[in-house]
Amino acid sequence: MASFSGSSLPRIVVGNARRSTDCHREARTARIGGSASFPSLECLSIPFEAKLIATRGSWTPRASAEALPTLKEKRGKGAEEEVEGRPLRVGIVCGGPSAERGVSLNSARSVLDHIQGEDLHVSCYYIDCNLSAYEISPAQLYSNTPADFNFKLESLAQGFCSLTEFAEHLATSVDIVFPVIHGLFGEDGGIQELLEKANVPFVGTSSAECCQAFDKYNASVELCKNGFATVPSFLIQENHADRNELIKWFDKHLLDISTGKVVAKPTRAGSSIGVVVAYGVDDSLVKAQNIISEGIDDKVLIEIFLEGGSEFTAIVIDVGFDSHCEPIALLPTEVELCGVNDTNEDTIFNYRRKYLPSQQVAYHTPPRFPADAIEFIRQGAALLFKHLKLREFARIDGWFLPSPSTNLFSSSDNFELGRTKSGIVIFTDINLISGMEQTSFMFQQASEVGFSHTNILRTILHRACSRFPSLKPRSKSWKIMSQKIKSANHAEDVPRRKVYVIFGGETSERQVSLMSGTNVWLNLQAFDDLEVVPCMLAPADGYASAEREDIAQVTARVVWSLPYSLVLRHTTEEVFSACLEAIEPSRAMLTSQLRKHVMSELAKALSKHDWFTGFDIIDEPPKKRSLEQWIMQAKEAEATVFIAVHGGIGEDGTLQSLLEAAGVPYTGSGPMASNTCMDKVSTSCALAHMQNVGIFTLPKSVKGISELINSSIPATWQDLTTTLQSETLCVKPARDGCSTGVARLRCEEDLKIYVNALENFLPRLPANCLSKAHGVIEMPFPAPKYLIFEPFVETDEVIVSSKSEGESTRHLMWKGLREWVEVTVGVMGQFGEMHSLCPSITVKEAGDILSLEEKFQGGTGINLTPPPTMIISNEALQACKQRIELIANTLGLEGFSRIDAFVNVHNGEVLVIEVNTVPGMTPSTVLIHQALAENPPMYPHQFFRAVLDLAHQRFK
């Protein structure tokens, strides 16, 4: 593939293009580390108390950054004198050495978002994979992955010489620690033992009990001792793999030694990391050895694969007094795996299915089990919680095997707990620190029984404080302060403006849209002057419809106004199904009965605590309206619509036109700009005249799906490579985004595989099915009518290095063999006055295309914000930003948008890839990084409020 240089870039060509001139400059290698390329600590360490809040529509600072102590000043104070009425000091600790540290970052960010307040002072800490501890700013929690800031820790964070020094610091600087480290060092008792030795109060189970429960083998033995049904298992330890004993185990459980289906899992890991299906003795040994050799664990469990059952998970919270444990399980969730007939994939609830929204999994809260099974799951989980001496909260996973499928157990099996009239309940995994991402099981189940995110987290925190005698005075002071703040807020009687956040739709981007809408909705709830209503757009006939053009059909589409609990789902299909279930009389009645039962138990226990002020989520059904009716309702309510519908009518100008015609304010660009940017070819045409100012577009060839399917693959490949004058091509849907269907094609065989996937409506291309290694490629559904082919632009690989032995800093490795890097840039402002945020260099961790996971799945993906100066000079960066603003104003953008482009590292010339007028707004979006890099920094809730206010101002 040719490298593109400034003036040699061609104009847009549809179906035909001139050859672009190659331009190779001298290769250069930049080794970047420490503070050479990144801002000083002061730029990003503004405490959360200094955030801006909206009061009666105006911005008011809570406290100045200068008035608060710096990290070093706090370190030097030693033990503080207790101040009556001061906020409770909470230390969030995340990261850790396991592969789950990315999920840990997401959990910590969510905890920070929802416990923040004037009555709490939150400090944030990060432990890296080498068990080095750092105090970080809250802003750093919004980095997408540990790799996003690992190499910057030495310049942006306060490091500790040892874990002992870290624990000593916590003992004098916080009142209580909230650990959110998943896996090793977080759930195995490591962080707990460190805190216990330093006499630091913390949320959660003590070290000894963590150690026992985290080890799946030890926990299984303990469960068996206490009379619980368990899955038959065989333990394989490093250097102790006895094939003959494993054969005997297979024979004992009537499994074929060559083909018997089992599950191999690490004994001490979470998030389904390393869990695989194996067939027969030899395959089991090989896969167990792979888990060991990959360093995931040195002990592996081989378990019988449970056929015909359903997986579930249950959150248990302790609502007891002092040292008295009183666990209550919330409403459990059934985990349904969908599309499990795909023989190329393991039929298990793996890491990808857990954390990437797709139609491969669906959750049902409460489960679709018989009532007696649901009740035993709840009572059994609570009993297990008590037996294992757990504290505050835990997530307990298991299986329900209906009676016809229970031949795994005979009536002579020696267990007392697990048999119900309708089947057998088996508990399999104990999660001491459950994931706490925005739509995690904890928040799903809590919202079903009346708890908001904030309420359940503060309930857990209050319970933890009540266990520590030293914290009782502090906890009482915190309670009084909290009540005063609430009373003051209510006394203000702030008028509330309605905001409708709409997401969903029917395009392949609908799952990301759900994530965006949920994130916006939760963040805007931080403002007392807003009443935020989540709404989901769905086609009138479900999710099987094709693209529509008729305006009458568009306005007849369904919009659901959602109650709190129905938003916290995995996919739009799940939300849609939950809406139908909620209005189906028998299902609604059962759910209502179960909810009332659980809430009654909780209310009885929590009423004994003087800090509990009640449930804050109302049980109400979703409301169904046509899009036309919904717009009229928004007009009557004088609401502003926050558009988070990616693709389709949300991004092509249709929804914008309808809202504008009704006089309803909305976020983002107007109809004309939206329609232009939705079509990648139209975008290029609109910018084709700007080559003289250093703005370029790629040549494109548009092909219809039917044309590709019915044409000769060799002839099509020859035509494309000749037309575009490139040996390798990038293919993408003409109007879809979010990386669905985007792939690099190197040969005609790659094109054949891609077209075959479209012809057969395959949901995804498996990893490494094309000629060069790549990850899973999600295909667009419904299938697009047209595809765009364009030359693939080769850029240098940017490598984020971990700390090597003998080195004191982490660093980036970048070989400047080519002069172009890929960036993504947010723009904000009013029409004609768009402001460019700081560009981010996008780093592809594997393959040639930024994957769906790297863009939107929490814990993955790397973005360098701001770009290191050794890759792009400050002069080139400023020139880039000026061109980005010129692009935005030329296209007529307003509100906020995102522009993806290649940038020349020497002169800041821009090669436009695409423009998104409704960009991703997920917790992992790079726009958050860029907003935090502004001066002053904008936290997520401030960023979304600013976008909302731009919409309101435009329609005044």
Distance of CA 950 to the CA centre of its chain: 27
pLDDT at 558: 92
Task: Encode 575-597 in three state secondary structure.
Answer: HHHHHHHHHCHHHHHHHHHHHHH
What residue ranges of the chain have pLDDT lower than 50? 1-83, 340-345, 349-357, 412, 544-548, 805-808, 846-860
Using alpha carbons, select from 388, 363, 253, 356 the residue that is nearest to residue 311. Answer: 363
Q: Give me the pLDDT at residue 764, please.
A: 82
pTM flag (> 0.75) = yes
Question: What's residue 810's pLDDT?
Answer: 56
Going by the DSSP 8-state scheme, the letter that residue 16 receives in this structure is -
Angle at 269 between CA 186 and CA 381, to 5 degrees: 80
d(CA 771, CA 779): 18
Residue with tokens 């009532």: 371
**Structure-token pair, residue 354:** 């857990």
Q: Which three-class secondary structure state does DSSP give residue 933?
A: coil
**Closest by Cα among 261, 264, 272 to 291:** 264
Cβ atoms of 267 and 301 closer than 8 Å: yes
DSSP 431: E
Give exposure, 856-867, as e/b (b: 16+ Cβ within 10 Å): bbbbbbbbbbbb
Count Cα atoms within 13 angstroms, Cβ side, for 363: 29
pLDDT of residue 353: 46
- Residues 6 or more apart from 860 whose CB is under 8 A from it? 102, 144, 145, 845, 851, 853, 854, 924
Query: What digits encode the pLDDT tens for the residues 572-625?
Result: 888 998 898 888 888 889 899 999 999 999 999 999 998 898 999 988 899 999
- In tens, the pLDDT along 434-461 reads 999 999 999 999 999 999 999 999 999 9
E strand or H helix at 398:
strand 393-402
Task: State the pLDDT at residue 860.
Answer: 47
Alpha helices (runs of H) in 701-747, residue ranges in sequence order: 705-710, 713-724
Calpha distance 48→108 (Å, rounded):
14
Report how far residue 229's alpha carbon sits from residue 225's, in angstroms, rounded to the nearest whole number. 10
pLDDT at 318: 97
The pLDDT of residue 133: 95
The angle, 0 to 180 degrees and rounded to 10, between the axes of the packed helices 510-524 and 572-583 is: 70
| Domain annotation for the chain: domains and CATH numbers | 88-204 (3.40.50.20), 212-448 (3.30.470.20), 495-541+550-595+618-677 (3.40.50.20), 681-697+796-955 (3.30.470.20), 701-791 (3.30.1490)
- Rg, Å, the chain Cα set: 28
Give Cα separations from 278 to 233, 243, 283, 301, 403 (angstroms). Answer: 13, 15, 6, 12, 26
- What whole-number distance in Å separates Cα of residue 461 and Cα of residue 484? 19
Torsion angle (degrees, nearest 10) of CA 312, 315, 316, 319:
-150
